[in-house]
Amino acid sequence: MAAVLDSVRAFFAPVTFTIDMENPSDVVARETLLDRVMGPDRRKKSSEIIRRNRVPAEGLALVARDRDGRVIGTVRLWNVEAGINNEGTPLDALLLGPLAVDGRHGGKGIGSALMRAAILEAKNRGHGAILLVGDADYYERFGFFADKARHLVMPGPFERSRFLALELVEGWLGGAAGMIVPSGRMLAGAPVRKAA
C-alpha cells in the first residue's frame, strides 16, 4: 500500500527540475556532484581512459537543475570509434557516462529525464549508436542491451554483462567488432604524448 501511495504522490508531485545544456559555470558543481555520488574511485574506470583530456560530444553535456538553477544531475556523451564494421571502416559512435543524480533527489525521474533528453539529442544530431557501461536493470528501459556490443571491448577491464549499446540508426552496430577508442576533440592545454 505504501508503495502505491508513493507512486501516486510522485505522479502528482510538481515538476521540480529542468534539463539544460551544461555551461562552463557548471563544471565545479558537476565535479563535486560526481565525487559525492560516485566516490573517489570514479577516475579509475575504463570509461575514464576514453574521457580523459577530451571534450564531450557537441551539444551532449546535459545537466538537471533544481528550481534555483543548481546542478542536481549530470550526463555526458563522448565521441568514440567503436571498432570497425563489416567493410573494415572505423565506426563512429558515442560513449555515455557518467550519469549521476544527487541522492537527495533520487527517484523523481531525473535520471530518466536526463537519459531521454540525451538519447533524443544524440539522435537529432545524427549519431548512429550509444554505448555505456552500467547496470542493465536500469538501462534496458531506455533500449540498451549487451547483445549489440558483444563483439566490442573497452580499453581496460570491464564486465561484459554491463557493457551495453543502443542503436539510434537500425543496424548501425551490425558487424561492429574491436576496441572502443576516443575520437573526440582534445581539451585545450591537454598534455601531448610524445612519440617513443
Ligand X SMILES: CC(C)(COP(=O)(O)OP(=O)(O)OC[C@H]1O[C@@H](n2cnc3c(N)ncnc32)[C@H](O)[C@@H]1OP(=O)(O)O)[C@@H](O)C(=O)NCCC(=O)NCCS
Dihedral pair phi/psi, residue 81, rounded to 5°: -105, 125
Contact between 37 and ligand X per CB under 6 A: yes
Amino acid identity of residue 145, one-letter, is F
Q: By C-beta, is 65 or 108 nearer to ligand X?
A: 108
Residues 20, 138, 156, 175: which binds ligand X (CB under 6 A)?
138
List of residues 6+ apart from 172 with CB closer than 8 A: 91, 93, 128, 129
Q: By C-beta, is 52 or 141 nearer to ligand X?
A: 141
Residues 108, 148, 165, 182: which binds ligand X (CB under 6 A)?
108
The residues pairing with 80 across neighbouring beta strands, listed in sequence order, are 93, 182
Specify the length of the chain in residues.
196
Radius of gyration over alpha carbons of the chain, in Å? 17
Binding part of the chain for ligand X, among 16-24, 49-57, 93-101, 181-189 by CB under 6 A, reads 93-101
- Residue 92: name the closest of 139, 53, 135, 57 by CA: 57
For ligand X (CB under 6 A), the number of binding residues is 16
Q: Annotate each residue in 140-179 with x if it binds ligand X (CB under 6 A) or - if it does not, as one string.
A: ----------------------------------------
d(CA 134, CA 113): 17
Contact between 112 and ligand X per CB under 6 A: yes
Whole-number minimum distance, CB 157 to ligand X, in Å?
Answer: 16
- Residue 57: name the closest of 78, 76, 27 by CA: 78
Q: By C-beta, is 50 or 91 nearer to ligand X?
A: 50
Q: By C-beta, is 69 or 107 nearer to ligand X?
A: 107
**Positions that interact with ligand X (CB under 6 A):** 37-38, 99-101, 106-112, 134-135, 137-138
